[in-house]
């Protein structure tokens, strides 16, 4: 193909207006499954506490007719546990003249960046709450840290060779062991342990890779659809519900947890404790720009760690 000599084309033309879509595309993940599935509460101190208790062991001792009481059952005190709040923040500075320019995809650059930082901060909090991280009291030179979920589950845990349970009060992190493939046997053992301890987990939270592993478990609820003859067929390839001997688990993938951890959660016994919810803080103006930060101060409350379970030291690919 050839064009007529001296044809003036767009490759030589000047002044062609740009074509820029009035939409900003962003596929970065924003879902925060842990925060979405557990409760939330407000606290009034950087160190917040709660109490746990246990019933006495079951007794089947028979009592004779008319017997008098000569001794009494022992009365155990409640256990007092706590965690620290942790400060997380995102900052921004935007030149003031952007407010006078015609911008594609947003009307106000500062407002757009504030909203973006808020979403980033929510993801930061999700990842923090899921860490295998011991609580840190902090001081004038050391930041306070909240104990993440991995540092709480101690009674009903299944781990690899060389691994070790944490104390169960958030004071220490669990010891990671040798990684191994996630199997249905491991999941059943953890679920049974939680049931025996009095727990009723209803959520299985796993990383993306181990979500695909769970999809192959035999206990996944079967779903069958009649494929229409006059349209495309939908293939169901995700495990959404696992039917165990001790209750049903909703399988929830979480991008922000460690892939090597699988959590069996009872949402009734976990909450995000907010000292300061996500908020915008205006910073002093020192030039021709506007400064601000998005801030949150929160920690994880695990009502009783025996209500939950975990399978740890899993392969990640």
Question: In the chain, what are the domain boundaries?
Answer: 33-51+79-226+236-310
Instruction: Say which range, 25-39, 141-155, 187-201, has the weakest mean pLDDT.
Output: 25-39
> What is the Cα–Cα distance from 251 to 213, expressed in whole angstroms?
11
Predicted pLDDT at 171: 97
**Tokens encoding 292:** 């601000």
For residue 24, the model assigns a pLDDT of: 47
The structure tokens 């990640």 sit at 316
Which pairs from 56-60 meet CB under 8 Å and 24+ separation? none
Q: pLDDT-based confidence at 235, cuts 50/70/90?
A: very low
Helix (H) or strand (E) holding 90: strand 86-95
pLDDT (0 to 100) of residue 225: 47
Is the per-residue pLDDT at 189 higher than 60?
Answer: yes
Residue 129 backbone phi and psi in degrees, to 5: -65, -20
Sign of CA dihedral 188, 190, 193, 195: negative
Can you tell me the distance from the alpha carbon of 180 to that of 310, in angstroms, rounded to the nearest whole number? 14
Residue at token pair 């015609």: 102
| Average pLDDT, integer, range 39-56 | 92
Mean pLDDT score of the chain, rounded to an integer?
87
Taking CA atoms, 65 is separated from 60, 62, 68, 106, in Å, by 16, 10, 9, 82
Both tokens of 15, joined, read 């002044």
DSSP assignment, residue 42? E
* CA neighbor of 41 nearest in space, from 280, 288, 269: 269
Other C-beta atoms lying within 10 Å of the C-beta of residue 153:
28
Query: Hey, what are 33's tokens?
Result: 């499954």
Phi-psi region of 62 (alpha: psi -120 to 50; beta: other; left: phi over 0): beta
**Alpha-carbon gap, residue 170 to 178, rounded angstroms:** 22
pLDDT at 13: 60
Helix (H) or strand (E) holding 264: strand 262-265
DSSP-based helix, strand, coil % in the chain, nearest 5: 20, 25, 55
pLDDT at 108: 84
Give the integer Cα–Cα distance in Å for 124 and 304: 24
3-class DSSP state of 63: coil
Instruction: Report pLDDT for 14.
Output: 62
- Say how far apart CA 264 and CA 271 lie, in whole Å: 15
pLDDT band at 74 (very low <50, low <70, confident <90, very high): confident
Q: How far from the centroid of its chain's Cα atoms is residue 91's Cα?
A: 23
Q: Name the pairing type of β-strands 203-206 and 39-42.
A: unpaired
Q: How far apart are CA 32 and CA 115, in angstroms?
A: 16
Give the whole-number percent of the chain exceeding pLDDT 90: 63
- Find the angle CA(273)-CA(277)-CA(279) to the nearest 5 degrees: 165
Q: What is the mean pLDDT of residues 254-266?
A: 96
């Amino acid at each position: 193909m050839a064009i007529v000599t001296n044809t003036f084309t767009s490759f030589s033309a000047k002044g062609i207006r740009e074509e820029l879509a009035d939409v900003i595309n962003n596929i970065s993940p924003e879902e925060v499954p842990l925060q979405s599935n557990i409760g939330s509460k407000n606290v009034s101190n950087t160190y917040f506490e709660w109490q746990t208790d246990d019933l006495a062991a079951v007794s089947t001792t028979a009592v004779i007719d008319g017997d008098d009481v000569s001794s009494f059952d022992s009365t155990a005190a409640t256990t007092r546990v706590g965690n620290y709040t942790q400060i997380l923040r995102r900052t921004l500075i935007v030149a003031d003249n952007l407010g006078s320019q015609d911008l594609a995809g947003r009307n106000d650059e500062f407002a757009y960046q504030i909203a973006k930082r808020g979403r980033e901060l929510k993801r930061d909090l999700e990842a923090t709450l899921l860490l295998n991280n011991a609580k840190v009291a902090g001081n004038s030179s050391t930041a306070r840290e909240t104990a993440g979920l991995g540092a709480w589950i101690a009674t009903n845990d299944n781990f690899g060779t060389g691994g070790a349970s944490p104390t169960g009060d958030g004071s220490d992190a669990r010891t990671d062991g040798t990684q191994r493939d996630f199997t249905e046997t491991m999941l059943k053992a953890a679920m049974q342990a939680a049931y025996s301890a009095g727990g009723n987990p209803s959520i299985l939270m796993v990383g993306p890779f181990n979500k695909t592993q769970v999809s192959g478990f035999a206990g996944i609820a079967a779903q069958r659809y009649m494929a229409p003859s006059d349209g495309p067929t939908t293939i169901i390839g995700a495990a959404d519900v696992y039917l165990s001997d001790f209750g049903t688990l909703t399988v929830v993938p979480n991008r922000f947890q460690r892939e090597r951890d699988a959590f069996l959660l009872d949402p009734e016994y976990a909450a995000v404790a907010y000292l300061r919810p996500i908020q915008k803080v205006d910073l002093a103006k020192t030039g021709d720009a506007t400064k601000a930060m998005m801030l949150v101060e929160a920690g994880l409350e695990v009502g009783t760690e025996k209500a939950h379970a975990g399978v740890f030291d899993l392969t990640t690919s």
